[in-house]
Amino acid sequence: MTYMSHLCEAIIFSLIGDFNSAKFILNYQWFLFAPSIYGYAAYAAYAGVVEVNKYYDAEQARYLKQEYMDKEYIMPL
């Protein structure tokens, strides 16, 4: 996607101030495909982290109850 859109070349031209060449070399059909790829990657990473945090919270609660809570303590409802 980055190769087909010539994004790297367009960035280089933009950095040196040659905006007309950057606009000419950029393939917009491929370039506009990039936000969907990066957006999905960010969403998938976030969703995965949320699931892992749920498991971590449950495991941490279990560990703390097992190691530090008095065996005779009755949990309030």
Answer yes or no: pTM beyond 0.85.
no
Domain-located, residue 73: no
Same domain (yes/no): 23, 8: yes
Does residue 45 share a domain with residue 21? no
55 in any annotated domain: yes
2-33 b/e (C-beta count within 10 Å ≥ 16 → b): eeebbbeebeebeeeeeeeebeebbeeeebee
Please report whether residue 74 resides in a domain: no
Per-residue pLDDT tens for 4-63? 899 999 999 999 999 999 999 999 888 898 889 999 999 999 999 999 999 999 999 999
Task: Break the chain down into helix, strand, coil percent, rounded to 5.
Answer: 75, 0, 25
Domain limits at 39?
A: 34-68
CA angle 29, 30, 36 (to 5 degrees): 100
